[in-house]
Amino acid sequence: MTEPATEAIAQQQSTGSLDARGDVGDARSLWSDAWRAMRRNPMFWISATMIAVFILMSVFPQLFTSTDPARAILERSREKPSSEAWFGRNIQGYDIYARCIYGARASILVGLLTTISVVLVGGAVGVFAGYKGGWVDSLLSRIGDVFFAIPLLLGAIIVLVSLPRSTNYWFIILKVVLALTVLGWPSIARLMRSSVIQVKPNDYVQAARALGASPWRVIRSHILPNALAPVIVVSTINLGGYIAAEATLSFLGIGLQSPAISWGIDISSAIVGLRTTPHMLLFPSLFLSLAVLAFILLGDVVRDALDPKNR
Amino acid sequence: MTTTTTRAAKKAVPESRYVPEDGLLLDVEDLHVEFHTADGIAKAINGVSFQLRQGETLAILGESGSGKSVTAQAIMGILDMPPAVIPEGKIRYCGQDLLTMDPEVRRKTRGPEISMIFQDALSSLNPVFPVGWQIAEMFRQHRELNKSDAMNEAVRLMERVQIPAARERVKAYPHQFSGGMRQRIMIAMAIALDPAVLIADEPTTALDVTVQAQIMALLEELQEERKMGLILITHDLGVVADVADRIAVMYAGRLVETADILPLYASPAHPYTRGLLESIPRLDQKGQTLAAIGGLPPNLMRIPQGCAFNPRCRMAQDICRQDRPELREIVSGRFSACHFAEEVIDA
Amino acid sequence: MGTYIIRRVLQMIPVLIGATFLIFVMVFALPGDPTDGKCGERPCSPAYIAEFKKEYNLNDNVFLRYAKYTGIWPTEQGGLLQGNLGKNYNGYKVVDDLKERYPTTAKLALVAIVFEVVIGIAAGVLTGVRKGGFLDNLVLVSTLVVISIPIFVIGALGQYFLGVKAGLFPVTVGSNPSFYELLLPGMVLGSLSIAYVSRLTRTNLVENLRADYVRTAIAKGLTRRRAVGVHALRNSLIPVVTFVGYDFGGLLGGAIVTERIFNIQGVGNYIYRGILNRDGMAVVGAVTVLVFVYLVVNLIVDLLYGVLDPRISHD
């Protein structure tokens, strides 16, 4: 934009900028500005609603269907969608609609748990490395590089295969979460580290340290509020990626296995019958894609809202 | 250096260039520019008229937001439209209105006819191309010279603007030059095709004081050599004092005073000009408090009624809050848009 | 520049050792019996197990095994450094297996990269110059859709609609496939990256179109086409190149899925089979080579960055 127009606008609003890491006050106004921008964005409401529905689905699948997803009616195998079975039935004669509803749990669990553990591990390492600096920083950064050098899906496959086999649902879920965390933490650690290094030299942080505030207090009240925004954006988008990764691992037969219910497993088994019964593939794919989409969309919206250039 | 100067001087005003008999290169008439933004319409320029003749140097003076840069960009045709809109006005170059000209014809005037130098040479030069390439691009695109000829022209121009070791540095990138050298490269690029009109938008603002003087001297030299019409956009009266022939003072998108440079310095005819003059530190007034104009320039979405300067004017009366003063001739060749211009000029 | 390359290569060595060691540890040192299922339904005979363990150094501690594997600890047959990746559990040399499969995967990756770069940048430019237009929104929505659909679904759909129904591409891929056969799998593999490349190009282009030097280009009397296509685009492509390089790792992971769907006899399928057969030697060998390639690609991208952006100094 040109000179006077920007000036005129600049006069009207005090901008809270991601780059202007002034103080915690800025961080707060940054969030309230972002919230105001998000509220007006229909995409925010769409993605938030979709996420809410998927989470509800994973906690209380009974709310959405009274059909037992594990009840196979073999003689009705591959039945087309009908009023009885809305999405039709798959090869084993399972109700696809019920399978789609119950399949949400695995995806949402893996997505949320992986994101939480990646943020905790990566965040802790990043903050520690950035705050300590020196050889601690160098060492941790090099370790991060080592993990970063292994492509996510490739590494996750290896971790999964090397862990003990089991058919226990929760054990496999945690295995997948562990595999994705092992490979996923360095990205958040890098992000956190650079945020800390950016904020640390600021006068108010140095002043707090000089006044004898404990490292934890300095980190919690001065560094985290400023560093959090990019981490939240990246984590939200990554969450969608983790859901896709879980489904991919199930598809490859390395993640969850039948009789567990997962979109990935259903898609995998539906591919065989793609030519004659595309509905078997369509519905679980749709659910999976919508779940991934919801989180990526939310991440996009949050990023745009936090970016003062977009207002 | 002498050889290059004579060679350049020979080419200075190409025979083919059409210049009207009265030497009138540029005639801006009642120009309006608005910016349509989500928050409303910002009226950046509200009826500006001036003329520029061959060999003349016109300084347009004003604070940031006064509309001086927008005026320059409107003449150059590089405003982003939208959000910018030109609802009214004419910009005649050698008699032809640029605003109604076919866009493709107008594009071809940029460079060979009208050319421009920007304030921040570092960001205005493309960081990923060598400076020589960027100068040579003018010849490649407008004159269809081949690569090596265009490059030789670039070296010649770099020598002309006194860049040391031009032939060796022609392949260097903008960030490898000092601020002053970068601005010389900008100038070399702008004068490459011998334009009739050169617009310099705050050409020295980003530079050290000593370098400022060198750049201004270079511009003056080039202007005399090539008989260009030069428009100097600035917020700093001190910079243009030695160079300009006429000054146009802008405030809130209007001209508030135009005059030849000496009379204006001697006795300003508008309170705003006087404020600007008083805010220049002077050696002969040592020990006195430096006067500054209080307040801020107006919001262009809500320009005050009456005279736009009235909230900041020490002389403001009721009439200033109601009637907007038009630009009128006070003395021969001197124009002011103030109800009390006569009193100001006498004070 | 020369010293920079040397420094970067030296920096790469510990990362390479660390990454290969990590893979080695994960595959060999964690619980699980590699002879599991090797002798049909019955457990293997103790003699077989003993010979197996000797053959693959399974009695040594993990560090010694890693040292022997890489060739840091000298053995008669040599290790990774001597170009020996050992034998897989079926007794074939892993190096020979990889030699056979590498060209296929390399071709596949090449198709994917060409596809993502050409289409991605074209879409990014078309949408970037007409920000907010119909095409912009269309591409924005379709990239979002592509990003959200996992690669194995895209693969299955592509195989069905473009291969089977429309008959545009061959559905199956032979053992030594031509580029034509790999067109559809390559498009599937590159589809996710296309979405990212086009969005990245668009974002950067939109930002660079506001840059002062584009305004200068217009003021120089250049056509808008040249101001955008040469001045703004050249700057916008710098981060795109970086992305394509770093995304190479994702491409390698995706190759496992793509090769599985289209039954392509490449490295990805080799790794997948190795995992199913719990063939540690095959997996470690193939993954080590992939990680090495990935690191080399990243090194090249870093060097390229310095060429594309003269402001970055490599001194």
In this prediction, residues B173-196 reach a mean pLDDT of 87
Q: Tell me how far CA of residue C162 lies from CA of B222, C58, C185, C186, C213, in angstroms.
A: 65, 48, 11, 13, 44
Q: Which residues are CB-neighbours of B317 under 8 A, at least 6 positions away?
A: B339, B340
Mean pLDDT value across residues A18-22: 38
Contact present, B219 and B188 (Cβ < 8 Å): no
pLDDT on residue A66: 72
Cβ–Cβ under 8 Å, residues A93 and A76: yes
According to DSSP, the β-strands at B229-234 and B57-61 are: parallel
A18-36: average pLDDT: 59
Chain B neighbors (3+ CB pairs < 8 Å): A, C
Phi, psi of C186 (to 5 degrees): -65, -40
In this prediction, residues C32-50 reach a mean pLDDT of 65
Contacts of C313 (CB under 8 A, 6+ apart): C306
Which residues of B are less than 8 Å from A9 in CB distance? 37, 39
Domain boundaries, given as residue ranges, for chain A: 3-310
Residues of chain B contacting A7 with CB distance shorter than 8 Å: 64-65, 300
Give the pLDDT mean for B153-162.
87
Question: In terms of pLDDT, which residue wins out, C228 or A217?
Answer: C228
Task: Give the residue-averaged pLDDT of B33-59.
Answer: 86
CA distance A105 to chain C (A): 18
What pLDDT, on the 0 to 100 scale, is given for residue B5?
A: 41
Q: Quick one: pLDDT at residue C169?
A: 73
Contacts of A1 in chain B (CB under 8 A): 35, 37, 80, 83
Strand partners, B31: B48
CB contact under 8 A, B37 and A12: no
Closest Cβ opposite residue B67 in set A4, A9, A12: A4
The confidence score (pLDDT) of residue A160 equals 82
With CB atoms and an 8 Å threshold, state whether B73 touches A1.
no
pLDDT for the residue C77: 67
Q: Is the pLDDT of residue A84 over 90?
A: no
- DSSP symbol at A309: G
Give pLDDT, residue B16.
55
User: Which alpha helices (H) appear in B77-178, and where do they start and end?
Assistant: 103-109, 121-124, 131-138, 147-160, 166-169
Q: pLDDT digits over C128-154, tens only?
A: 888 777 888 888 888 888 888 888 888
Of residues C102, C17, C24, the one with CA closest to residue C61: C24
Per-residue pLDDT band for A34 (boundaries 50, 70, 90) equals confident
Task: Report pLDDT for B81.
Answer: 78
Which residues of chain C have a CB within 8 Å of the CB of A151? 249-250, 252-253, 290-291, 294
Q: Are C103 and C264 in contact (CB under 8 A)?
A: no
Q: How many CB atoms lie within 10 A of CB C2?
A: 7
Q: Which amino acid is at A114?
A: T
Q: Cα–Cα distance between A143 and B227 in angstroms, integer?
A: 66
Position B276, amino acid: L
Q: What is the mean pLDDT of chain B?
A: 82
CA neighbours closer than 13 Å in the CB half-sphere of residue C311: 10
**pLDDT for residue A13 is more than 50:** no
| Per-residue pLDDT reduced to its tens digit, C91-117 | 677 788 888 888 888 888 999 999 999
What DSSP line would sit under C97-110, residue for residue?
A: HHHHHHHHHHHHHH
CB contact under 8 A, C213 and B137: no
CA-to-CA dists, residue A41 to A290, A304, C132, angstroms: 19, 10, 16
Question: A261 pLDDT exceeds 70?
Answer: yes
Closest Cβ opposite residue A8 in set B69, B73, B299 = B299
Measured distance between the N- and C-terminal CA atoms of chain B, rounded to whole angstroms: 49
| Separation of CA B191 from chain center | 15
pLDDT score for A113: 92
Provide CATH code, domain C100-264: 1.10.3720.10
ipTM for the predicted complex comes to 0.83
Question: For residues A106 and C138, what is the distance between their CA atoms, to the nearest angstrom?
Answer: 32
Q: What pLDDT, on the 0 to 100 scale, is given for residue B82?
A: 78
Q: Do B128 and C212 touch (CB under 8 A)?
A: no
CATH class of A3-310: mainly alpha
Q: What is the mean pLDDT of chain A?
A: 77
The stretch A126-152 carries a mean pLDDT of 85
| pLDDT of C118 strictly over 80 | yes
pLDDT tens track for B301-336: 888 888 888 788 877 778 788 888 888 888 888 888
Burial class (CB in 10 A: 0-12, 13-18, 19+), A22: middle
CB-side exposure of A283: number of CA atoms within 13 Å?
A: 23
- Residue A68 phi, psi dihedral angles, 5° rounding: -80, 120
C311/B126 CB distance under 8 A: no
Distance CA B184, CA B203 (A): 10
| Residues contacting residue B6 through CB under 8 Å, at least 6 positions apart | none
Q: Which of B169-183, C213-227, C297-311 has the lowest mean pLDDT?
A: C297-311
Q: Which of A23-27, A266-270, C70-74 has the lowest mean pLDDT?
A: A23-27
Rounded mean pLDDT of A168-181?
87
**pLDDT tier at A115 (50, 70, 90 boundaries)?**
very high
Percentage of residues of chain C with pLDDT beyond 90: 3
pLDDT for residue B153 is more than 80: yes
Residue spans of alpha helices (H) in chain B: 2-11, 68-76, 103-109, 121-124, 131-138, 147-160, 166-169, 179-190, 209-226, 237-240, 261-266, 271-278, 318-322, 341-346
| Share of residues in chain B with pLDDT > 90 (%) | 2
SS3 percent helix, strand, coil of chain A, rounded to 5, is 75, 0, 25
Instruction: State mean pLDDT over C250-278.
Output: 84
Query: What percent of chain A has a predicted confidence (pLDDT) above 90?
Result: 5
Sheet holding B84-93, edge to edge: B40-53, B24-37, B84-93, B96-97
DSSP secondary structure code for residue A111 in this structure:
H
Angle at B57 between CA B54 and CA B62, to 5 degrees: 140
Q: Which of A9-18, B22-31, B229-238, C201-210 has the lowest mean pLDDT?
A: A9-18
Contact B90, C195 (CB under 8 A): no
Query: What is the pLDDT confidence band of residue A181, given thresholds at 50, 70 and 90?
Result: very high
